Chain A
Amino acid sequence: MLARIAHELFGLGRSVAHADHAARILEGALSLQLEGRHDDPSALTLSLESLLAMRGVASDGAPPSQDEVLRILVADPTHPGSIVASINAGRERARAVRDVISLEMWETINILQMHICRDDLPSKLRNEPSAVFDEIRDRCALFWGVQRRSMLRDEGWSFLNAGAEIEAADMVARMLVVTLNVARDTVGDDDTRDGSALTLLRAVGGLQAFRRTTSAAPTLLRVARFLVFHTAFPDSIVASVEGLRRALVRADPTPDQSPPILRLNRLSSDLALRRHLDPTPGDLIDTLLMVQQELADVDQAIVARYFAGAHRPSLTSPGGMAS
């Protein structure tokens, strides 16, 4: 497969996964705002400020308004982490690989772009934000659905999935780092406040999965551990890292000589070890920072090994890898 095409597919997987996860996180955070927990000073929420912090936007003191946050994180095409920027980038990448992906996949992302990236997006976000997020999530789900059914299981498939997995791991790690940082001094396993815990679960669509695997109440720490370590939950960090590793193994004729795969092997065993150490919030934050750094290095190693001939500069995620 052409190195450039593989690179574009990797980027396409990232763009779609980014738009999907960002929409989920925002929707979870907004629904929590509605329930008015912010009058409880110890309530742990994915605050609007923390949403901005996730994307590396510094707050200038005054608490941002919801409109402002949505403008930056959703509608601003010039902000590299915004949903619109991801969708635009995804569509451009899909256009560049139109001869490789199926017509249905192309149509799905083309329609997503036509529906979302429009002039009336800000007013739609004011009036019915969840309709916007629903459409993004549905279209992204459709994209992966038609991909499963219609895309050849070749190298291109592997790189597309590798891009989605690395982005998913990165997004979940960012979300957890921000939330745990807010909470690090106040949270223990006996903490029964579940506001942010539920938000986190909603943000990755994992509420049901958590309930089915864990009988205890969803406290922040339990949920965070679940989202980092639970191998059976597809959006957990360990599952995404494993998915990424498998995708690369599939694409690589000599996986045991591949630097990114070797790095991922090490990361997997490291995570398996840490899982059994009963981590505190502080330990978890350290783990997540380590994961972010490792993923950034893996990203570089992937570019060097597979896309070296491609003309684009080293690809960073729509928002930049672990900043």
Chain B
Amino acid sequence: MGGDSYDELIGPDGTPREHASRLVHNLNALGRDRLLDAGARRDAIFMQQGITFALAGDSGEMLDRPFPLDLVPRAIPAAEWADIERGLIQRVRALNAFCDDIYHDAQIVKAGVIPWSLIVGRSAFARAAHGIRPPGGVYCHVSGCDLVRDHDGSWKVLEDNVRTPSGVSYVLENRRAMRRLVPQLFRDHNVRPVDDYPALLLDALRAAAPASDEHPTVVVWTPGTYNSAYFEHAYLARQMGVELVEATDLVVRDNVCFITTTRGLARVHVIYRRIDDAYIDPIEFRPDSLLGIPGLMRAYRAGNVTIANAVGTGAVDDKAVYPYVPAMIKFYLGEEAILDNVPTYHLSDPDNLESALARLDQLVVKPTSESGGAGVFIGPTATDEEVAVQTKLVRADPRRWIAQELVHLSTVPTVQPDGTLEPRYVDLRPFVVYGRDLSVIPGGLTRVALPAGEMIVNSSRGGGSKDTWVLDDANGADTPPPPQSVFTTSSMRTAPITTWESQQQQQQQA
């Protein structure tokens, strides 16, 4: 693994990459002990502030753990970020156009670019949303596209999230915590700020309000305190200064949506919902949903309330649709995709199926219609037995699966329990907000797989996160080489975490 992977701070010769040289210098100046001290303070502060996520304990009970923020940031130079930003804006524009298209004329289908059966066969395709065009034609108000960096340093889109992407609260909290815990690392850097995100989001949501004489009332809709992302829902509501509501607070009368207040009903114009389509209205979707609001879809269809992200966006970020995104960009925008996809194969195609099954131990296989790393199979780290099981699963229903070439995730030095740094795999989830225009929050959430060799970065699998810096050119002077290093030189230079590679070799021998 390590040998093939691109490290974002350290070059192949073991010296810091140019944009990271000051950061590496600052890390060395900080030293191992102070890094460990800051880590201990971080855990205490996060527990006190309840910046936690629930993780199942040994005996199955749910425990609150401090959200694991690694104190070594990931740095991206401004010039590189400019390309990512353009690529993301282009991609979300196309996804938004696709969403509008499939719930109206489906021209992309008529043009033969994407088969209709593929779109309409998605469980997330919302027939109830047909013909509804939200104000401004915006469907994907908030998007989070997961990016990875291949061994040659090129950025690729791993998947799109345009339903209710989460994680942005950690971007903001991570930055706040980093400024408090390790201010020394910021020295001689111009790090682009991220804290105007709540204002950006509120503007976008207000811009999406249905035309009305009143000042639009925006609310954040959470499934409740037991939802694993409740911290984020409350955080965003607080930061935007709007009400955080649950289904029981909302009521629809005469196709108009209201909240129940201490003084009676008050009109709501925009609902930033953090709950899946299936649960929002028991009349139109799942009748067993206790979380939903009866009549909400009627109010939505009547244009009296905006739901963000729009109903039906789940059909757009589905893993089965993903391979067509470059074609979408071409079709709607007449441009070549700036950000590449990872090569992906539909297993419903018999040729793809056979060639994929023949080399399953080299591929990543993902179920469609799932999110959050659930059901993902990584061939190169799987045992023979697991490969056999997966083969059976895929054969049973090939349409449920896609196969992807393995991307050699990039690495970033990450603090170990003894205070030294070792490379760990990361991905990046930048957030795009679509209001009157599109904007991208600088950086985004870098997720890091903390166990050595682990490639799934989701926090449910022991993943942590890193602050992500977009660096404008700083005025600082060139820094001298550090006297003493917290980097375990061997690991940084030769990247000896060979678990993955050796497993691959074993498999090839087997």
Interface residues of chain A, those whose CB is within 8 Å of chain B, are 1-6, 92, 95-96, 98-100, 103, 106-107, 110-111, 114, 155, 159, 251, 253, 306-311
B228 near A: Cβ within 8 Å?
Answer: no
Contact, CB under 8 Å: B262 / A307: yes
B23 near A: Cβ within 8 Å?
Answer: no
Q: What are 15 sample pairs from A and B whose C-beta atoms fall under 8 A apart?
A: A2-B243, A2-B260, A3-B262, A4-B248, A6-B262, A95-B230, A98-B238, A99-B220, A103-B49, A106-B49, A107-B48, A111-B48, A114-B47, A306-B262, A310-B248
With CB as the reference atom, state the residue of chain B lying closest to A311. B248
B509 near A: Cβ within 8 Å?
Answer: no
Contact, CB under 8 Å: A99 / B262: no
10 smallest beta-carbon distances between A and B, as pairs: A309-B260, A311-B248, A99-B237, A99-B238, A98-B234, A99-B244, A306-B262, A6-B262, A3-B260, A99-B234
Report the bound CA distance from A107 to B46 in whole Å.
10
With CB as the reference atom, state the residue of chain B lying closest to A110. B50
Interface residues of chain B, those whose CB is within 8 Å of chain A, are 47-50, 220, 225, 230, 234-235, 237-238, 243-246, 248-249, 251, 259-263
Report the bound CA distance from A106 to B238 in whole Å.
13
Residues in A with CB closer than 8 Å to B230 are 95
A96-B225, A251-B262 known, 20 other contacts, Cβ within 8 Å: A1-B262, A2-B245, A2-B259, A2-B261, A95-B50, A95-B230, A98-B235, A98-B238, A99-B234, A99-B235, A103-B49, A106-B49, A107-B49, A111-B48, A114-B47, A307-B262, A308-B260, A309-B251, A309-B260, A310-B248
Residues in B with CB closer than 8 Å to A251 are 262
Residues in A with CB closer than 8 Å to B220 are 99
Residues in A with CB closer than 8 Å to B48 are 107, 110-111, 114
Residues in A with CB closer than 8 Å to B249 are 2-4, 309
With CB as the reference atom, state the residue of chain B lying closest to A156. B262
User: Interface on chain B toward A: helix, strand, loop, or mixed SS?
Assistant: mixed
Residues in B with CB closer than 8 Å to A114 are 47-48
Contact, CB under 8 Å: B244 / A106: no
Report the bound CA distance from A253 to B248 in whole Å.
24
Distance from B319 Cβ to chain A, minimum over Cβ atoms (Å): 33
Contact, CB under 8 Å: B263 / A253: yes
Report the bound CA distance from A3 to B246 in whole Å.
11
Distance from B231 Cβ to chain A, minimum over Cβ atoms (Å): 8
Contact, CB under 8 Å: A4 / B50: no
With CB as the reference atom, state the residue of chain B lying closest to A102. B238
Report the bound CA distance from A1 to B259 in whole Å.
9
Distance from B114 Cβ to chain A, minimum over Cβ atoms (Å): 41
Residues in A with CB closer than 8 Å to B237 are 99
Report the bound CA distance from A251 to B238 in whole Å.
21
Residues in A with CB closer than 8 Å to B243 are 2, 5, 99
With CB as the reference atom, state the residue of chain A lying closest to B243. A2
